[in-house]
Amino acid sequence: MLKYTVTDHPLIQHKLSLMRDVNTGSKEFRELVSETSMLMCYEAMRDLPLKEVDIQTPLGIARSKVISGRKIAVVPILRSGLGMTDGIMGMIPAAKIGHIGTFRDPRTTGTVGYYCKLPRDISDRVAVIADVMLATGGAACEAVRLAKEAGCKDIRFMCLIATEQGIAKLNETHPDVEIFCAAVDDGLNEDLFIVPGLGDASDRMFGTK
């Protein structure tokens, strides 16, 4: 059985539909990716531990709750994951940011990691690895491998659109990593793009094609 969580809030689904539209331009696409990532962050961070503290209000003392002892790192996979960073950071402004770069070898279709820069204290942080698409699962698995190699123990993977194939590969390779997505699409075409998907997320986001 595949393990993943679909965040099906109406606002997320509405924004995802706008992103899929071929007529949506780069500026609006970037804004939608950021806004959707901010909304999805609620679900991905649902289990953060809390502690009770006393807060002085204008009228007295309120017994309140704050996040307890869990530091966060946002780790976008280059390039499309960059578009999700601001949205997540809007919810967790104290988080640190790492970056992981991967590419697909055109000869073997395997994934190669070419860049990894993570916070020095990544082993003490919850890492939210972000990428717009979880297609074959290659980039996600390589990013998680690099994060674990650096000492990270608590990893969540956040994407907007996934396939069952990509989910299955990440589940099998890294069964301890939770997956959060907004939709699971039909599958992949011969060029390994998600169908129906939303096209090349990086090119649409940055206007490079």
Active site residues: 104, 108, 200, 203
DSSP 87-131: HHHHH-TT-EE-EEEEEE-TTT--EEEEEEE--TTGGGEEEEEE-
Query: What does residue 156 show for φ and ψ, rounded to 5 degrees?
Result: -120, 140
Residue 44 CA to residue 162 CA, distance in Å, equals 16
Is residue 208 a contact partner of residue 30, using CB atoms and an 8 Å limit?
no
Is residue 183 a contact partner of residue 6, using CB atoms and an 8 Å limit?
yes
